[in-house]
Amino acid sequence: MSDSSTASTITADEIQDEVFPELAFRQAESKKMGGAQAIARQHAAGRMTIRERIEKLVDSNSFREIGTLAGTGSYDENNALVSVTPAPYVAGLAKIDGRPVALGGEDFTVRGGTTFGSSRRKGGQGGFIEDLAFHYRIPLVNLIDGAGGSVTSLKRRGHSVFPGVHGFERSVELLGQVPVVSAVLGTAAGGPAGRAILSHFSVMVNQSSQIFAAGPPVVKRSLGQVIDKNDLGGAKVAVDTAGTIHNCAASEADAIDQMRRFLSYMPSNVWELPPVVENTDPVDRCDPLLAGIVPEKRTQAYNMLRLVRLVCDKDSCFEIQPTYGKSVITLLARLGGRPVGIIANNPMVYGGAMDVHSARKQIHFMELCDTFHIPLVFFVDVPGFMVGLKAEQEGTLREGMRAVCVAGKLRVPTITVVIRKCYGMAGMATCNKNDIDLKLAWPSAEWGSLPVEGGVAAAFRKEIMSAPDPAVREKEIEAQLKPFASPYRTAEAFAVEEIIDPRQTRPVLCEFIALAEQRLRADLGLKPRYGVQP
Amino acid sequence: MPQTEINSPVTGTVWKIERTIGDRVEEGDVIMILESMKMEIPIEATTAGTLQAISVEHQDSVNEDQLLCVVTS
């Protein structure tokens, strides 16, 4: 190309408004959102406007808005434009860490972010922004601040809309193809609440966000219950108790940071490998603290999160659902700069026993990593499923077996490191025994269908009861069987692939995770759909 | 001064209280040990500071998420 053709070009910033005044005016109207008063109210509630949220979330100057001019124009008697109330949804294309994403969110300053009745939706289920993510195979970011449809649209349309006309089909399809992240940044009910759930990662802000199927007025009318919206759908319920939303953030800025962090581990879609970052933490680092981290006394708990952090790349751990289903820890991390999913039983919480909540949490995390070709590493210390009446009433057995079922169908490379206990069916949910997936163990490991202690009393009941001193006989049988429970006996039979010095955990894992790349590459693409889960 | 509340991760009983109010603690120091499901659960300081309050006593039953102690840093 000749130099003369570039000499007269200008950059986007140098474009003068006066050439196309109506375009410039309409663009300026859109930037005013719901007006100064509404913006002040949004700020007074401790919330950012949708435009501030987008600016905070994306790489600087990377936001290319789509649908800027959508809205409701008001015209004078000569049909000249007076003003435009923008559509209550701001959307477009942007970059996060240099990678393109589709993003959008309700503008609460315009009619509380309710839909405005255009012929084509900008965002929300079935909206343009979902299609953009789908067709260009890029992540979708939902910045949710709205309560969905309003009965006022009845009057405008003249008829009611059948549920599913603006359905979740696209939202559902996206879950198998590109990362979807959602932040609940206000009070969400209806469609926006549904979309927050149809996400790979969701976050809400402590105190200033709530999410529920229906808010306090509906609850009062239906059940006569009078309850504050924070007590009904605040983070305490939605994150800690129900696991409806994955993580709680201290502020909107924190929520945005968490979404960026989550996306940093994800590929742009299922046809790409997850991004590898430069790593400064030596892959052969052997932390001496690992040698003494498991107490000798087997009834003493220890800090599993610390153990995992000592193994993974420094500062690379990002915990998903830290306050829900706490008997298992699920986190995204890196080994040698490569993303991995870590699932670690937490002996601090009921000895690491799997309950209905931790099973559900583990299932979501396994499916997430399997979908996006992120290898899994299990750090195992699980005594079994949680027992007792409450656990049975909650359906622990069914949810636990669902975890076993999903683990059995994993296609990503899976490495299992048994730290201490690995018992029963819950133990089966900690590995994928297909192909050549590796099972490693520390010398502190012990496993079986059930522990020798307790197991003896049931299996040798007759013999124990007929002994002159049953308690002594029980101890004797336990002592006879104990040597067979040594992990070294299992290694002799090559029924566990390797027993390693705990300090060697990082070098071994880094080597196998690096090796996994070719296997992951060969398996890129959509995950097949499976039959019925239990 | 920021106060960090340390809550019980489990339902169980207070088996041993290892430190006293006013003690200086480092992150990871064991403040007390609970007993639950036949396991000893060490309750560690999640931040460095001064142990400002202990809200349970030896052999108390504690519920999940119940406040155990407060560290001021």
Interface of B with A in 17-36 (CB under 8 A): 28, 36
More confident residue, A211 or A12: A211
Domain match, A328 and A210 both: no
| Chain A residues touching residue B28 (CB < 8 angstroms) | 303, 306
Cα–Cα distance for residue pair A345/A350, rounded to 1 Å: 10
Contact B42 A351 (CB under 8 A): no
| Chain B residues touching residue A426 (CB < 8 angstroms) | none
The answer to whether B72 touches B23, Cβ cutoff 8 Å, is: no
Domains identified in chain A, total number: 3
Is the per-residue pLDDT at A26 higher than 50?
yes
Q: What is the mean pLDDT of residues A397-422?
A: 93
Q: Put residue B37 in one of left, alpha, beta given phi > 0 → left and psi -120 to 50 → alpha.
A: left
Domain match, A107 and A215 both: yes
| Chain A residues touching residue B34 (CB < 8 angstroms) | none
Residue A236 within a domain = yes
Is the per-residue pLDDT at A343 higher than 60?
yes
pLDDT at A331: 98
Indicate the CATH number of B3-72 among 3.30.70.60, 3.40.50.300, 1.10.238.10, 2.40.50.100: 2.40.50.100
Find, among A137, A130, A122, A145, the residue nearest to A66 by Cα: A122
Domain edge (last residue) among A264, A296, A315: A264
Domain match, A362 and A256 both: no
Contact A302 B36 (CB under 8 A): no
CB burial string A299-324: b at 16+ within 10 A, e below: eebbebbebbbbbbbeebbbbbbbbb
Domain match, A217 and A315 both: no
Contact B10 A299 (CB under 8 A): no
What residues form DSSP beta bridges with A342? A331, A377
Residue A10 within a domain = no
Give the amino acid at A258.
Answer: Q
Residue A232 within a domain = yes
CB burial string A328-343: b at 16+ within 10 A, e below: bbbbbbbbbbbbbbbb
pLDDT at A150: 64
Is the per-residue pLDDT at A410 higher than 80?
yes
Cα–Cα distance for residue pair A331/A300, rounded to 1 Å: 24
CB atoms < 10 A from the CB of A294, how many?
22
| Chain A residues touching residue B38 (CB < 8 angstroms) | 299, 351
Q: Tell whether B40 lies on the interface with A, counting CB pairs under 8 A.
A: yes
Token readout for A260 is: 């960026």
DSSP symbol at A239 = I
Residue A283 within a domain = no
Contact A348 B41 (CB under 8 A): yes
User: Which of A1-10, A112-121, A239-248, A335-344 is predicted least confidently?
Assistant: A1-10
Residue A7 pLDDT grade (very low, low, confident, very high; cuts 50, 70, 90):
low
Q: Where are the domains of chain B?
A: 3-72
The answer to whether A109 touches A39, Cβ cutoff 8 Å, is: yes
Residues of A near B (Cβ–Cβ under 8 Å) read 297, 299-303, 306, 326, 347-351, 353
Of B9, B28, B42, the CB nearest to A326: B9
B52 vs chain A: nearest CA distance in angstroms?
23
Residue A116 pLDDT grade (very low, low, confident, very high; cuts 50, 70, 90):
low
pLDDT at A2: 47
Pairing label, strands A180-184, A338-345: unpaired
Residue-range definition of the domain harbouring residue A459: 450-485
Residue A530 within a domain = no
Closest CA in chain B for residue A326? B9
Is the per-residue pLDDT at A530 higher than 90?
no
Cα–Cα distance for residue pair B6/B56, rounded to 1 Å: 12
Is the per-residue pLDDT at A327 higher than 70?
yes
Domain match, A258 and A400 both: no
| Chain A residues touching residue B42 (CB < 8 angstroms) | 300-303, 348
Q: What is the mean pLDDT of residues B15-28?
A: 94
Contact A300 B40 (CB under 8 A): yes
What CATH number is attached to the domain comprising A432?
3.90.226.10
Residue A1 pLDDT grade (very low, low, confident, very high; cuts 50, 70, 90):
very low
Domain match, A364 and A512 both: yes
CB burial string A512-525: b at 16+ within 10 A, e below: bbeebbeebeeeee
Domain match, A248 and A325 both: no
Contact B39 A351 (CB under 8 A): yes
| Chain B residues touching residue A297 (CB < 8 angstroms) | 40
Residue A275 within a domain = no
A173: Cβ–Cβ under 8 A, 6 or more apart, which residues?
Answer: A134
Domain match, A314 and A358 both: yes
Contact A348 B10 (CB under 8 A): yes
Contact A350 B10 (CB under 8 A): yes
Q: What is the mean pLDDT of residues A522-532?
A: 87
Q: What is the mean pLDDT of residues A198-210?
A: 96
Give the amino acid at B2.
Answer: P
Residue A477 pLDDT grade (very low, low, confident, very high; cuts 50, 70, 90):
confident
B34 vs chain A: nearest CA distance in angstroms?
10
A239: Cβ–Cβ under 8 A, 6 or more apart, which residues?
Answer: A204, A245, A246, A247, A248, A321, A323, A324
Q: Determine the number of helices (DSSP H) and then strands (DSSP E) in chain B.
A: 0, 8
Residue with tokens 């970059």: A95
Q: What is the 3-state secondary structure (H, E, C) of A60-98?
A: CCCCEECCCCCEEEEECCCCCEEEEEECCEEEEEEEECC
User: For residue A444, with 0-12 CB atoms within 10 Å meaning exposed, 13-18 middle and 19 or more buried, which class applies?
Assistant: middle
CB atoms < 10 A from the CB of A28, how many?
11
Token readout for B10 is: 């489990």
Domain match, A149 and A59 both: yes
pLDDT at A149: 64
E strand spans, A129-200: 140-144, 180-184, 187-188
Number of cross-chain residue pairs from A and B with Cβ atoms under 8 Å apart: 33
Domain match, A88 and A24 both: yes
Q: What is the mean pLDDT of residues A65-85?
A: 94
CB burial string A35-51: b at 16+ within 10 A, e below: eeebbeebeeeebbbbb
**pTM (two decimals):** 0.91
User: Which of A107-121, A400-414, A502-516 is predicted least confidently?
Assistant: A107-121
Token readout for A113 is: 């972010």
User: For residue A165, with 0-12 CB atoms within 10 Å meaning exposed, 13-18 middle and 19 or more buried, which class applies?
Assistant: exposed
Domain match, A148 and A240 both: yes
Q: What is the mean pLDDT of residues A11-27?
A: 83
B8 vs chain A: nearest CA distance in angstroms?
9
| Chain B residues touching residue A350 (CB < 8 angstroms) | 10, 36-37, 39
Cα–Cα distance for residue pair A404/A2, rounded to 1 Å: 65
pLDDT digits (tens, 9 = 90+) for A34-59: 999 999 999 999 999 999 999 999 99
pLDDT at A91: 95
Q: What is the mean pLDDT of residues A183-192?
A: 92
Closest CA in chain B for residue A322? B9
Cα angle A515-A432-A138, degrees, rounded to a multiple of 5: 65
Is the per-residue pLDDT at A211 higher than 50?
yes
Contact B9 A347 (CB under 8 A): no
Domain match, A117 and A255 both: yes
